[in-house]
Structure 1
Amino acid sequence: MSTFEIFLTAIALSMDAFAVAVCKGLSLDRKNFRLSALTGLYFGGFQALMPVIGFFLAGIFSDKINSFDHWIAFILLGIIGANMIKESRDTSCEVSSPSFSFVVMTGLAIATSIDALAVGVTYSFLKVNILYAAIITGITTFVISTAGVYIGNIFGAKYKSKAEFAGGLVLVLLGTKILLQHLGIL
């Protein structure tokens, strides 16, 4: 997987966090850099950690599934992408609680990074440098989530569903590319 593909995957994974960050921004009375950066740290940190966990979990089983790992990558990315596309139809902000407490933010960060755990499994099959991918994913999510709080505060939920749709589409296309490469079509 190239640096560009890792970066695209990081952007796609960041879209759930972006959508939640937009909703958090809606709950603020005014722009607040500290809370925006805090949101970015939570989401970016978990988005960086989860692929590492998935990578090492998959490493335990990699020798047993090496012959069909490309199908697993295709299915995981396809399911995650399709789910994001489906969720993009929901324009509400159910997580617009004004609380930025440890419990609330940790819960949201875990919920938005479960997809990254599955992508970490895919990274293991593709022999991606996990530290490099985790750093790119964490930084990308930090920037996008921090911006998401500002965007939510200024513009409302206007961009939430479009971002989720685009992220889902990117993951589906990357999964398809991985499968086609392993089948020798690309």
Structure 2
Amino acid sequence: MNPIALLLLAFAMSTDAFAAAIGKGASLKKPSFSEALRMGVIFGSIEAITPVIGWLIGKSASSYVETWAHWIAFFLLVVLGLYMIYEGMKPVSEEVEKPSSHSFLKVSLTAIGTSIDAMAVGVGLAFINVNILIAAALIGLATTFMVTLGVMLGRTIGSVLGHRAEVFGGLTLIAVGVWILLGHL
């Protein structure tokens, strides 16, 4: 696989994480660049690890991962999206404010949900001549960049949507999950 194809693959793998990051940024109270970068690094790290896992599995059991990866991603993203919608629909009290950051666990679960497809790509990469470490690093870097950008864009969207930004974020995660599922059916 040539370097340009690898770079295009890396950015293609980061698009669903970018969409989820916009929702995450919208649900926060004016996220700072450092918070956006923290989320970008979490997403990027997970997105870099999953193709390596897929590559390793691809060497032994590719049909299992390819069969179930999109269902796992769909389930995780829908559950997280429904939770965000639930949180966004709660009555607003005067004292409740948007959080300034999301927990590591919440960000990691969302990142895992959006990176399941990268695991399936890793399975495919196991059957072609590609350096998986370079491919994984490029995917991780592209995702870090795109998620950081997405959170900062979500900040603008959040100021427009107000408290309902959490609902927007949840709907975005569900849409990404459905998109992944439909892309594999």
TM range, smaller chain: 0.5 to 0.7
Question: Could you tell me which residue of structure 1 aligns to residue 110 of structure 2?
Answer: 108
Quote the Cα distance in structure 2 between the aligned partners of 1:107 and 1:56: 22
Please state how far the C-alpha of 1:5 moved relative to its aligned partner.
1.4
Structure 1 residue corresponding to 2:138, chosen from 136, 139, 148: 136
Unmatched tracts of structure 1, length 5 or more: 63-71, 173-186
User: Which of structure 1's runs of 4+ aligned residues deviate more than 2 A?
Assistant: 92-99
Distance 1:94 1:127, change over 3 A: farther
Quote the Cα distance in structure 1 between the aligned partners of 2:128 and 2:144: 25
Question: Could you tell me which residue of structure 1 aligns to residue 56 of structure 2?
Answer: 56
Question: Could you tell me which residue of structure 2 aligns to residue 35 of structure 1?
Answer: 35
Counting only pairs closer than 5 Å after superposition, residues 1-186 of structure 1 correspond to structure 2 as 1-60=1-60, 95=84, 98=99, 100-155=102-157
Preserved CA contact (<8 Å) 1:6 1:133: yes
Quote the Cα distance in structure 2 between the aligned partners of 1:8 and 1:94: 33
Quote the Cα distance in structure 1 between the aligned partners of 2:17 and 2:83: 14
Quote the Cα distance in structure 1 between the aligned partners of 2:25 and 2:82: 10
TM-score by length of 2: 0.65
Aligned length: 147
Q: Which moved more, 1:123-132 or 1:22-31?
A: 22-31
Distance 1:95 1:120, change over 3 A: farther
Quote the Cα distance in structure 2 between the aligned partners of 1:93 and 1:19: 16
Quote the Cα distance in structure 1 between the aligned partners of 2:105 and 2:31: 22
Quote the Cα distance in structure 2 between the aligned partners of 1:146 and 1:50: 19
Please state how far the C-alpha of 1:60 moved relative to its aligned partner.
2.8
Q: Secondary structure at the match of 2:105?
A: helix
Quote the Cα distance in structure 2 between the aligned partners of 1:106 and 1:118: 18
Quote the Cα distance in structure 2 between the aligned partners of 1:93 and 1:136: 31
Preserved CA contact (<8 Å) 1:20 1:95: no
Percent sequence identity over aligned pairs: 38
Quote the Cα distance in structure 2 between the aligned partners of 1:95 and 1:114: 20
Quote the Cα distance in structure 1 between the aligned partners of 2:16 and 2:58: 23
Distance 1:4 1:104, change over 3 A: same
TM-score by length of 1: 0.65
Please state how far the C-alpha of 1:137 moved relative to its aligned partner.
0.4
CA RMSD of the aligned region, Å?
3.5
Quote the Cα distance in structure 2 between the aligned partners of 1:95 and 1:18: 17
Question: Could you tell me which residue of structure 1 aligns to residue 95 of structure 2?
Answer: none
The letter for the 2-side match of 1:41 is: V
The letter for the 2-side match of 1:112 is: T
Unmatched tracts of structure 2, length 5 or more: 88-98, 159-167
